[in-house]
A and B are shown apart, each in its own frame.
Chain A
Amino acid sequence: KAGVTQTPRYLIKTRGQQVTLSCSPISGHRSVSWYQQTPGQGLQFLFEYFSETQRNKGNFPGRFSGRQFSNSRSEMNVSTLELGDSALYLCASSSGQGDGSPLHFGNGTRLTVT
């Protein structure tokens, strides 16, 4: 069974630009979550989508947004990039059912903002 796939793996952008990251979940998984990982803050929750609906959101500014498509694939968008947005962005999928279903992570997109 294929794992979670994130594209692209690396991205370099300039302040003020916007970026779109893509995530393909494990087949059959309906929940997709996004996390930001930085050395100082660790993993911080951005948002979760389940069956195309956002059902939870973390404490990030409105510049961070996402969506989920009918095939469960998800994208996240960051507009007006700031230097502090440089991070590893991780996507995770799960069945979304029950407490025990773990999140399965992709290998992330490394975003560098210059």
Chain B
Amino acid sequence: EDQVTQSPEALRLQEGESSSLNCSYTVSGLRGLFWYRQDPGKGPEFLFTLYSAGEEKEKERLKATLTKKESFLHITAPKPEDSATYLCAVKVDSGYSTLTFGKGTMLLVSP
């Protein structure tokens, strides 16, 4: 069974204090790993897709990396507006468009 585990469950940072979120996965036939951001009362917002080990993608203060067993979302010098729940999801062989999600990391950045 495909599994996606995110850690930590919650993370509190001071503004400017960089950190990383972890997403470990056990799947058969990874076709893509996705990162989303979700704000309270809203649907998940797409951030990145990673396909193969060694790949990296960046967007503003966020950088996502991928290895054969896990992905990291690095947040550099975060601001309060980066506060949100960050979700990791995988797409596998024969899964059509189906994503299997982790339970997310709730990030709070204090000024």
Contact = CB atoms under 8 A, between A and B. Distances in A.
Contacts of B36: 105
| Residue in A35, A41, A96 with the greatest tally of chain B CB atoms within 10 Å | A35
B66 to A, nearest CB: 13
B102 A33 contact: no
Interface residues of A, number: 28
A14 B36 CA distance: 33
Interface in A92-111: 92, 94, 96, 99-108
In which size bucket is the chain B interface? 20 to 34
Contacts, number: 65
B34 interface: yes
Interface in A71-108: 90, 92, 94, 96, 99-108
Interface of A: 4, 31, 33, 35, 41-45, 48, 50, 55-56, 58, 90, 92, 94, 96, 99-108
19 contacts: A31-B96, A33-B97, A33-B99, A35-B101, A42-B102, A42-B103, A42-B104, A43-B44, A43-B87, A44-B101, A45-B99, A48-B96, A48-B97, A90-B43, A94-B97, A99-B51, A101-B97, A107-B41, A107-B42
Interface of B: 31-32, 34, 36, 41-46, 49, 51, 87, 89, 91, 95-104
Given A31-B97, A56-B97, A96-B97, 4 more contacts: A42-B104, A48-B96, A103-B99, A105-B45
